[in-house]
Amino acid sequence: MAVEMLLLIIASLAAAAGAILLFNSSRQEDYRARMLTRLPQPARHTDLPEPRSGAEQPIEQLLTHLLGRAGYAPAPWHGWALLIGIALSAILGLELFGFAGTVLLPLGIVALLYLALLTVGARRRRRITAQLPMFLDHVIRSVRAGNSIEQGLVAAVEESDGPIREVFERVVRQVQLGVHLDEAVDQAAMTYRLQELDLLQAAISVNLRYGGAIREILESVITALRQRETAQREFRAMTGETRLSAWVLAVLPISLAVYIVSMNPQYFMLMWNEENGRIVMLAAGALQGLGVFIIWRMLRSI
């Protein structure tokens, strides 16, 4: 019983963490949309099909972006596998934990999958950010040789490897199908949620609208990216002790609770078997989740 209760607590915490991350993701999307509306937009051709709106099929778009950021090509069986897994986990949760497990266990499993995809996607995004200045250097060299920026992208893709190659291979394919370059880069920025690609898209949009030497614009983008990377490294080094202290404060209560439950389950069950004890423990879990959220927001602000 103690092991089952521990699993239920872990599933609840995972579900809460997933909800927090989903909330933050929606805030980032809103912020990005507001910022992009302030940028000058080039004239669009009406003969091209408009991209499918994410509001029409938000779940499909969310899964597509999550898998794309993690480096997986979306497939129809992914959605079916997710639905079957949720159904099986709901049945298992009902057998192990009762009605509460029917809801919390599927939420916990989905949250853990979401966290895993976010972790892999964040690692790939860091690699893309690190590779982007060198990739743009390849584009500039090709433009200096007399090629267009589209031809420069093709040449740079052939010379690159890793996740940056996958990102711009998709951009090149869309351009070859008739999509405007700035629109293709904007879709890549939307998929990977990279402000660096937003900056590149804005530079290309300004060049398409007002003209100018694209080579000089790309050089300015590279300079801005490298200055930002240097500033971020210095800032993270300065705030390392603060972030470590915040992590300790967030993880220590959870680790202590898990240790007590695993080493002395009777101590835990004495409270859980009483109605008032359950209320106190659920309130403590809610306060712990609130505290982790507050600390996490503090870490995001430094």
Superfamily per CATH, domain 128-237: Type II secretion system (T2SS), domain F (1.20.81.30)
Q: For the segment 34-71, what is each residue's pLDDT rounded down to a tens digit?
A: 544 444 444 444 343 344 444 445 666 777 777 777 77
**pLDDT of res. 48:** 38
The pTM for the full model equals 0.62
Low-confidence ranges of the chain (pLDDT < 50): 1, 35-56
The closest of 180, 167, 300 to 242, measured between CA atoms, is 300
Delimit the domains of the chain by residue range: 128-237, 239-302
* Contact yes or no for 164/131 (Cβ under 8 A): yes
Label each residue of the chain as H, E or C.
CHHHHHHHHHHHHHHHHHHHHHHHHHHHHHHHHHHHHCCCCCCCCCCCCCCCCCCCCHHHHHHHHHHHHHCCCCCHHHHHHHHHHHHHHHHHHHHHHCHHHHHHHHHHHHHHHHHHHHHHHHHHHHHHHHHHHHHHHHHHHHHHCCCCHHHHHHHHHHHCCCHHHHHHHHHHHHHHCCCCHHHHHHHHHHHHCCHHHHHHHHHHHHHHHHCCCHHHHHHHHHHHHHHHHHHHHHHHHHCHHHHHHHHHHHHHHHHHHHHHHHHCHHHHHHHHCCHHHHHHHHHHHHHHHHHHHHHHHHHHCC
pLDDT digits (tens, 9 = 90+) for 91-141: 887 777 677 667 777 887 888 888 888 888 888 888 898 899 999 999 999
Return d(Cα 122, Cα 247) in angstroms, integer: 19
The reported pLDDT for the residue numbered 168 is 92
